[in-house]
Amino acid sequence: MTTRTVLLLAMTTLLSGCGGPTILATVPGGGGLAPGQSVLVDDGRCPTGQLSKVTGAKSLTGSRTFTCVAKP
């Protein structure tokens, strides 16, 4: 895991309780999400007014899930 990824996750965790969810501009790299952890990403994958909700795999052999959700 890169230093940038660690800092991004730390900031996301620290700010998650401050006034609303943190919205990332890009999907965290490999190993950037804990199993079952979810983040909101505004990367253009979803229609206008929606964000990608990315959830980390629940096992090492699984894959992340991407779901479009309404912006908070």
Q: Which residue ranges make up each domain of the chain?
A: 3-70
Strands of 38-41's sheet, edge to edge?
23-24, 38-41, 50-55, 65-70
Q: Which of 9-18, 46-55, 60-69 has the lowest mean pLDDT?
A: 9-18
* pLDDT, tens digit (0-9, with 9 covering 90-100), for 33-63: 888 899 999 999 999 999 999 998 887 778 8
pTM of the predicted protein model: 0.67
Q: Does residue 15 or residue 42 have the better pLDDT?
A: 42
For residue 65, pLDDT over 80 is answered with: yes
* Cα dihedral across residues 3, 68, 45, 55: positive or negative: positive
From the CB of residue 23, how many other CB atoms can be counted at a distance below 10 Å? Answer: 15
Q: How far apart are CA 58 and CA 7, in angstroms?
A: 22
The answer to whether 56 and 64 are in contact (CB under 8 A) is yes
Q: pLDDT category, 15, cuts 50, 70, 90? A: low
Pair of tokens at residue 31? 């190993």
